[in-house]
Structures are given as C-alpha cells and as structure tokens.
Amino acid sequence: MFDISTKEIIIIAVVLVLLFGSKRIPELSKSIVDAIKHLKGAFKEEGLQDDSDKLNIKISKKKK
C-alpha cells in the first residue's frame, strides 16, 4: 500500500524530533495509542449494542 523507504522514515523521524523535541515524542505516541484504543472500544461497544437490538427484535417476534 505505502512504499516508504528507510531513508524516508529517518527523515520523518528527524523532522518529528525537531518539531516536538525528544521529550514530547513518547507523550504524543502514548496519547495517539490511547485514542486509537478508545475508538476501537467505542466501535466494539456500538457493535454489541446493535447486535443486542437485533436479538431483541427477533425474540419479540417469536413471542407473538
């Protein structure tokens, strides 16, 4: 999908260090990972709620 060479990765890393400083990069990466985990959890919870609604509809149709 993305064809990134080692040279390009090194250039991106150097630019990030220059922009944010070496102390800020671990904090930024941790916050990005936390945000991704939060989004994945939200999608999983939403999916479970949708499935439970479908089950309730099926159960209510069978009772009638």
Confidence of residue 1 (pLDDT cuts 50, 70, 90): low
* Mean pLDDT within 12-26: 89
Q: How far apart are CA 38 and CA 12, in angstroms?
A: 26
Q: What is the pLDDT of residue 10?
A: 92
The answer to whether 16 touches 25, Cβ cutoff 8 Å, is yes
Please determine, for residue 5, whether its predicted confidence score (pLDDT) is greater than 80: yes
What tens digit of pLDDT does each residue of 28-40 get? Answer: 889 999 998 998 8
The confidence score (pLDDT) of residue 11 equals 94
| pLDDT tens digit sequence for 42-51 | 877 766 555 5
